[in-house]
Amino acid sequence: MSQLLQHLINGLASGTIYALVALGYTMVYGVLKLINFAHGDVMMVGVYMGYATAFALGREAQRSLWGVVIIFAVAMGGCALLGFLIERFAYRPLREKPRLTALITAIGISFALSYGFQLDIGFLPGASPRAFPEVIVPTEWFIIGDRDVVVWNWQVISFLIAVTLMVTLQFLVYRTRFGKAMRAVSWDHRTAALMGIPTDRIIALTFMLSSALAAGAGLLYAIKDTSVSPLMGLYVGLKAFVAAVIGGIGNVPGAVVGALLLGLVEEFVVGYAASTWRDAVAFGFLILVLLVKPGGLFGRVAAEKV
């Protein structure tokens, strides 16, 4: 029983982080119909920004509330800028070109970032993983039984941060003018432009938002698993992407549900079946979902017409 509870906690913890990353994929897909393969790597860059900031702050300051806020602000702001630059220079010139073209530039950027960060030249961090500083000093909050289940403060805090970010996003998308414009662009960006919506600006903002979200997710991930490495974006990005598709890519609540499901499925496969088959089961689950519901759990099946 306690084991089940522990697995549930673990699964939800990774699920919420997948969700934050998946939201980025889903938003960009929503407005551009582009699978942004560089998303995971943008996340990785964000984590390194946070890492550098934490070091600049020093051991004491990084653990204060303000320290944590600064770390998140720098990483999210930095990534928003990076997202803007990528959109402006790598995707926007290809807006009216076949969709695959932009996909290739996304892959190019992904390669440049993930391999670039493996270099040990200049300020680049090098290939080996590094310990992410404990910006939230770990303390045990709940203990069930004879340490059968332990809940740590940072688990709860991370969860709260993740939920706050998601609620904020939901509010942004469904309750603000910007969100309305974004949904209009997603629905039909040519018509949206005719209605006076500055589509270029909306798309740029969406990119910045999703990149900032990725940075936040990446930091939570680094806090959870206490390490940061140049290839983390690749692994997390792929899983989050799968999660977004399970939920129905382009659908905001779908991404969250898909991510939580994926996190739990992975956890329980490892916990109760065979750990060697985790990735196969994750992808098998995806294929199964798509066979039953071709548009993902919440996606609308696009009845493509001429």
Write down the least CB distance from residue 110 to another protein, Å: 7
- Spacing of C-alpha 253 from chain mean position: 14
Phi-psi category of residue 250: left, alpha or beta, with phi > 0 → left and psi -120 to 50 → alpha: left
109 binds another protein (CB under 8 A): yes
Q: Does 191 bind another protein (CB under 8 A)?
A: no
Amino acid in position 11 = G
Shortest approach of another protein to residue 168 CB, angstroms? 25
Q: Cα–Cα distance between 97 and 92 in angstroms, integer?
A: 10
CB of 252 to another protein, least distance (A): 17
Structural tokens at position 253: 């609540």
Interface residue with another protein, options 10, 186, 210, 251 (CB under 8 A): 10
Binding status of residue 98 toward another protein by CB under 8 A = yes
- Residue 187 CA to its chain's centroid (Å): 23
Minimum Å distance from CB 259 to another protein?
A: 14
Window 212-231: residues binding another protein (CB under 8 A):
221, 224-227, 229, 231
Q: Which two tokens stand for residue 148?
A: 């059968």
Residue 121 interacting with another protein (CB under 8 A): yes
Q: Which stretch binds another protein (CB under 8 A): 68-76, 174-182, 184-192, 232-240?
A: 232-240
Closest CA to 71 of 58, 85, 86: 58
Residue 290 in contact with another protein, rule: CB under 8 A: yes
Q: How far apart are CA 288 and CA 242, in angstroms?
A: 12
The stretch among 53-61, 180-188, 210-218, 242-250 that binds another protein (CB under 8 A) is 242-250
* CA pair distance 135, 60, nearest whole angstrom: 9
- Is residue 295 near another protein by the rule CB under 8 A? yes
The interface with another protein within residues 142-171 (CB under 8 A) comprises 147-148, 150, 152
Please, what is the minimum distance in Å from the beta carbon of residue 121 to another protein?
6
- Check: CB of residue 31 under 8 Å from CB of residue 202: yes
* Cα–Cα distance for residue pair 294/130, rounded to 1 Å: 40
> Interaction with another protein in 33-92: which residues (CB under 8 A)?
35, 37, 90
